C-alpha cells in the first residue's frame, strides 16, 4: 500500500510500521450509525443517531457566543449547540438542510439537545452504515478519517495480499470452537449492527477471543520452537550415581523436604538425557534451592564433568563458594572461586584449575562467562537468581561448554516466584520445577508497619533484641536515581546509628565496598562480632545469617514488592521468631499503600507475586532484563487463562503435525515484518 512519508511518520508514532500493525490497530470503541432514532423516542444519556431538517439557525451571544440550530424530524424537535465553531458552519447548517447527527441527548432548559454532535449534511434516504463505525486511537496530525480510510483499504486488499489467511488447522478451530481469523479481524474493525457492544468492549466476543488466542499461540509456538531446537543439541548423559550425594546428605544437619526431593528428581532425570536440560527451579526465599543445586552439581561431577554456579553479586557468590566448599571438600571435590575483583595471581590459579579440570566445581559472578574462562569439560551450568541476569549472559554461560560438540545442561534458579499463567506464557521455552514448601521449624516473620515519626520505638526494640544476643539488619533507603546519594545515605545512617547505639558494634555494607571489604563485614556479622548491620539492598539476594532475627527497612514505601519480600526473607531463617519492621514516610501514594498492605498481609511469595502482577502488569513485573521476550498486547493472563492452555496444547500439536502453518503463524505475528509500509 502506498502511504506518504508524512503519514508514515505519524503512523509510527502509534507504533504502526507494517501492514500487519495497521491491521492490528483495533478500535478503542465504536459508534452506531447503523440506525436512526425518531427524535421523540431517542433515549437520553447514550450516543444515538437522529436525522432531521434544520428549521432554525442562530448565533447567540449569551451566556457566551454559540451556534444554536433546531432540527425537526416529524416526531419532535432537537436543539444542536456548538460552543466552538467555524464561521463556515453557520452557512453549512442553513435552514432547510437535512442533517444526520450523532451524539448524546440531554434534556436542557430548551428541551432535548445535543452539544457538539458529529453532524453531516445528507440527502433524502441516504443509506445507513451497514456496520458499526470504528473509532481508532489517533495521534496529532493523523485524524480519525485517515485511519479509517487506510485500515479500510488494508482490509479490502487483504484477500489479494493473503494477510488474513487461516493459519490454525481446522481440527483445532473445531475443537476450541474458535471463530475464523479473517472474519474476526473484519468484525473487530467493522462489527455487524446486531453485535453485543458490551462483549466487544470487555473483549469477550468470539472475535476478540480469536485474536487473543492467535497472539498467545504465536508466543507459544516461537518459544516451544526454541525449546525444541535446543533439544536437538546434544549434551553429556549424566546418569545418577548418587554416591557422593548420599555421603553429603548423611552429613547434613537437616533432611530434604519432600519438595526438594521431588525437584531434584526432575533435575536428575533431565541430566541423564542426551540433550541439554533447560530447567527453571523456582522456590521462595529460604526454600532451600542451594542444596538442590549442589546435588545436581554432584551428579555432573560423578560423571567426570565439571559444574559451575553463577551468582549475581559478590556476596552471594562468595557465600555459595563457602557453602559448597564445606560440603564438597570432605568428598574430595575441589571448588574454584572466580570473581571480577580477584588479584591477578589468584584469578590465574582459578582459571588454571578450571581449564585443567583440577577443580570440578566453579563458583563465581559474571566473571565466570568471560572469554578467558575455559572449562575442561563443563557438564552443568547453574545460574542463581536468574532474573538478575540478562538473556545474553545466560546464553553466554550456556555456550561455555561448546568447545566440544556438546552443550552443557542448564539449571536456572529464581526466588522470584512467578504466577503460573505468567510462567506458562513467558517461560514456555523452559521446563519449570517448583519448591512449594519451606523447610520445617521456621517461625514466620512478623511484619510491622511503623510510620517514620515513631522511630524511637524502633530504636528501643533494637536495643532489646541485641541485649538478648540477637542480630539486626538495618536496610537503608533505596535511592534509585543516584548511586552517590544512595551511598551518602548509607554512610549517614551508619554514623547516626553508631552514635545512637554506643554499646553495640555496628557494621556497614554497601555496593561500593571492595569484595574483600564486603566479605570481611559479612564474616564479622556471621560470627556475631557485628550486632547491627547497616546495609543497602546489596543484601537483598540470598544472604543467609541464621541468628539475624530483626530487620528494619527504612523508606519501605519506595521499594517494590518482590524486593521487600526478598529482603524480609533474610530474617526468619532460624528457629527464632523474627520481626521485620517496615518504616515508612507519610504521605503514602495509593500504589505504595497497596504494596505495603500486600507485604503486611502476605508471607507467601507466590501470593505476593500474583498481586504484584495485578498491580504492575507483566511488562513491569518481569522487568527490563526479560525484554528478549515479546510482550502480549491483547491477551490478559488473568482473564484468558483458558486460551493460554488451549494455545499451549495447540502449539505442540502444530509443531508436531502442521510445521508449515506453525511457521506461517509465527511469521505473521513475530516474523521479520518484511511487509513494511511502502512509500
Residues within the interface to ligand ADP (CB under 6 A) = 254-257, 260, 283, 285-291, 415, 439, 542, 544, 573
Work out whether 283 is an interface residue with Mg ion (CB under 5 A).
no
Cell numbers at 81, concatenated: 449547540
- Nearest-CB residue for Mg ion: 542
Q: Which of 27, 276, 542, 569 binds Mg ion (CB under 5 A)?
A: 542
- Upper half-sphere CA count for residue 278 (Cβ side, 13 Å): 22
Task: Choose among Mg ion, ligand ADP, none what residue 447 binds, the Cβ cut-off being 5 to 8 Å by kind.
Answer: none
Q: Which is nearer to Mg ion, 320 or 595 (CB)?
A: 320
> In degrees rounded to 5, what are phi and psi of residue 508?
-135, 130
DSSP string for 558-572: GS-HHHHHHHHTTSS
> In degrees rounded to 5, what are phi and psi of residue 259?
-65, -40
Mark the segment that binds Mg ion (CB under 5 A) among 244-252, 485-493, 505-513, 541-549.
Answer: 541-549
Task: Choose among Mg ion, ligand ADP, none what residue 285 binds, the Cβ cut-off being 5 to 8 Å by kind.
Answer: ligand ADP
* Cβ 541 to ligand ADP shortest distance, Å: 9
Here the contacts of 258-262 (C-beta below 8 Å, separation 24 or greater) are 258/437, 259/283, 259/287, 259/434, 259/435, 259/436, 259/437, 260/288, 260/291, 260/292, 260/435, 262/433
- Distance CA(271)–CA(266), nearest Å, equals 9
Q: Which is nearer to ligand ADP, 257 or 537 (CB)?
A: 257
Q: Which is nearer to ligand ADP, 291 or 651 (CB)?
A: 291
Q: Of all helices (H) and strands (E), which one includes residue 474?
A: strand 471-475
Task: Choose among ligand ADP, Mg ion, none what residue 439 binds, the Cβ cut-off being 5 to 8 Å by kind.
Answer: ligand ADP
* Cβ 311 to Mg ion shortest distance, Å: 8
CA 52 vs CA 75, 86, 469: distances in Å: 10, 22, 87
CA 106 vs CA 47, 260, 278: distances in Å: 10, 66, 63
- Distance CA(663)–CA(17), nearest Å, equals 21
* Cβ 360 to ligand ADP shortest distance, Å: 21
Q: Which is nearer to Mg ion, 574 or 641 (CB)?
A: 574
- Nearest-CB residue for ligand ADP: 288
Q: Which is nearer to ligand ADP, 78 or 545 (CB)?
A: 545
Cell numbers at 348, concatenated: 590465574
* Cβ 364 to ligand ADP shortest distance, Å: 17
Q: Which is nearer to ligand ADP, 607 or 636 (CB)?
A: 607
Q: Which is nearer to Mg ion, 294 or 583 (CB)?
A: 294
CB burial class (10 A; 0-12, 13-18, 19+) of residue 623? middle
Task: Choose among ligand ADP, Mg ion, none what residue 428 binds, the Cβ cut-off being 5 to 8 Å by kind.
Answer: none
* Cβ 282 to Mg ion shortest distance, Å: 12
Task: Choose among ligand ADP, Mg ion, none what residue 401 binds, the Cβ cut-off being 5 to 8 Å by kind.
Answer: none
Q: Which is nearer to Mg ion, 117 or 542 (CB)?
A: 542
Total residues at the site for Mg ion (CB under 5 A)?
1
Distance of CA 34 to the CA centre of its chain: 41
- Upper half-sphere CA count for residue 570 (Cβ side, 13 Å): 29
Question: Which residue ranges make up the site for Mg ion (CB under 5 A)?
Answer: 542
Amino acid at each position: 500500500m502506498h502511504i506518504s512519508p508524512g503519514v508514515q511518520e505519524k503512523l509510527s508514532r502509534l507504533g504502526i510500521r507494517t501492514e500487519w500493525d495497521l491491521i492490528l490497530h483495533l478500535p478503542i470503541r465504536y459508534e452506531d450509525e447503523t440506525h436512526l432514532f425518531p427524535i421523540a423516542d431517542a433515549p437520553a444519556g447514550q450516543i444515538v443517531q437522529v436525522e432531521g431538517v434544520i428549521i432554525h439557525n442562530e448565533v447567540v451571544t449569551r451566556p457566551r457566543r454559540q451556534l444554536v440550530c433546531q432540527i425537526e424530524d416529524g416526531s419532535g424537535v432537537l436543539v444542536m449547540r456548538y460552543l466552538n465553531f467555524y464561521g463556515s458552519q453557520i452557512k453549512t447548517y442553513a435552514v432547510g438542510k437535512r442533517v444526520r447527527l450523532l451524539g448524546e441527548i440531554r434534556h436542557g432548559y430548551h428541551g432535548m439537545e445535543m452539544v457538539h454532535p458529529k453532524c453531516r449534511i445528507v440527502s433524502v434516504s441516504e443509506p445507513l452504515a451497514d456496520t458499526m463505525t470504528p473509532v481508532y486511537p489517533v495521534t496529532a496530525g493523523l485524524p480519525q478519517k485517515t485511519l479509517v480510510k487506510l485500515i479500510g483499504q488494508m482490509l479490502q486488499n487483504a484477500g489479494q495480499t493473503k494477510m488474513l489467511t487461516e493459519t490454525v488447522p481446522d481440527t483445532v478451530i473445531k475443537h476450541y470452537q474458535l471463530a475464523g481469523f479473517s472474519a474476526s479481524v473484519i468484525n473487530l474493525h467493522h462489527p455487524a449492527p446486531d453485535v453485543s457492544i458490551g462483549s466487544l468492549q470487555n473483549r469477550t466476543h468470539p472475535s476478540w477471543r480469536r485474536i487473543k488466542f492467535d497472539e498467545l499461540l504465536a508466543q507459544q509456538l516461537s518459544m516451544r520452537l526454541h525449546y525444541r531446537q535446543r533439544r536437538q543439541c546434544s549434551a553429556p548423559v549424566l546418569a545418577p550415581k548418587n554416591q557422593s550425594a548420599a555421603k553429603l546428605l548423611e552429613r547434613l544437619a537437616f533432611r530434604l523436604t519432600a519438595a526438594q526431593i521431588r525437584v531434584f528428581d526432575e533435575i536428575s532425570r533431565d541430566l541423564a538425557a542426551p540433550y541439554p536440560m533447560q530447567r527453571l527451579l523456582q522456590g521462595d526465599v529460604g526454600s532451600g534451592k542451594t542444596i538442590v543445586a549442589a546435588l545436581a552439581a554432584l551428579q555432573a561431577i560423578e560423571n567426570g564433568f565439571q559444574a559451575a554456579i553463577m551468582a549475581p553479586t559478590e556476596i552471594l557468590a562468595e557465600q555459595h563458594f563457602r557453602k559448597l566448599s564445606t560440603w564438597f571438600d570432605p568428598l574430595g571435590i575441589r571448588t574454584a572461586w572466580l570473581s571480577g575483583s580477584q588479584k591477578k595471581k589468584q584469578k590465574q590459579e582459578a582459571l588454571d584449575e578450571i581449564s585443567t579440570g583440577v577443580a570440578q566445581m566453579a563458583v563465581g559472578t559474571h566473571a565466570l562467562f568471560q572469554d578467558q574462562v575455559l572449562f575442561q569439560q563443563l557438564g552443568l551450568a547453574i545460574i542463581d537468581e536468574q532474573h538478575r541476569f540478562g538473556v545474553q549472559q545466560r546464553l553466554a554461560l550456556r555456550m561455555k561448554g561448546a568447545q566440544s560438540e556438546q552443550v552443557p545442561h542448564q539449571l536456572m534458579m529464581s526466588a522470584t516466584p512467578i504466577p503460573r499463567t505468567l510462567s506458562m506464557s513467558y517461560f514456555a521455552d523452559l521446563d519449570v520445577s517448583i519448591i512449594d514448601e519451606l523447610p520445617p521449624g521456621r517461625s514466620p516473620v512478623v511484619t510491622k508497619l511503623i510510620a517514620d515519626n515513631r522511630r524511637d520505638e524502633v530504636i528501643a526494640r533494637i536495643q532489646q533484641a541485641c541485649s538478648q544476643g540477637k542480630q539486626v539488619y538495618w536496610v537503608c533507603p533505596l535511592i534509585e536515581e543516584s548511586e552517590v546519594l544512595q551511598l551518602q545515605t548509607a554512610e549517614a545512617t551508619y554514623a547516626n546509628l553508631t552514635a545512637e547505639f554506643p554499646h553495640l558494634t555496628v557494621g556497614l555494607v554497601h555496593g561500593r565496598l571492595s569484595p574483600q571489604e564486603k566479605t570481611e563485614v559479612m564474616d564479622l556479622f556471621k560470627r556475631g562480632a557485628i550486632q547491627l548491620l547497616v546495609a543497602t539492598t546489596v543484601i537483598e539476594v540470598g544472604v543467609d545469617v541464621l541468628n539475624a532475627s530483626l530487620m528494619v527497612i527504612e523508606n519501605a514505601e519506595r521499594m517494590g514488592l518482590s524486593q521487600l519480600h526478598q529482603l524480609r526473607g533474610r530474617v526468619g531463617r532460624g528457629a527464632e521468631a523474627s520481626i521485620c519492621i517496615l518504616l515508612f514516610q507519610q504521605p503514602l501514594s495509593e500504589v505504595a499503600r497497596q504494596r505495603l498492605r500486600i507485604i503486611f498481609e502476605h508471607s507467601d511469595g507466590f501470593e505476593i507475586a500474583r498481586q504484584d502482577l495485578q498491580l504492575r502488569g507483566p511488562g513491569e513485573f518481569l522487568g527490563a532484563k526479560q525484554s528478549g521476550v515479546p510482550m502480549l498486547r491483547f491477551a490478559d493472563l488473568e482473564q484468558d487463562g483458558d486460551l493460554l492452555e488451549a494455545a499451549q496444547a495447540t502449539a505442540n500439536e502444530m509443531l508436531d503435525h502442521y510445521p508449515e502453518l506453525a511457521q506461517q503463524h509465527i511469521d505473521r505475528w513475530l516474523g521479520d515484518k518484511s511487509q513494511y509500509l511502502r512509500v
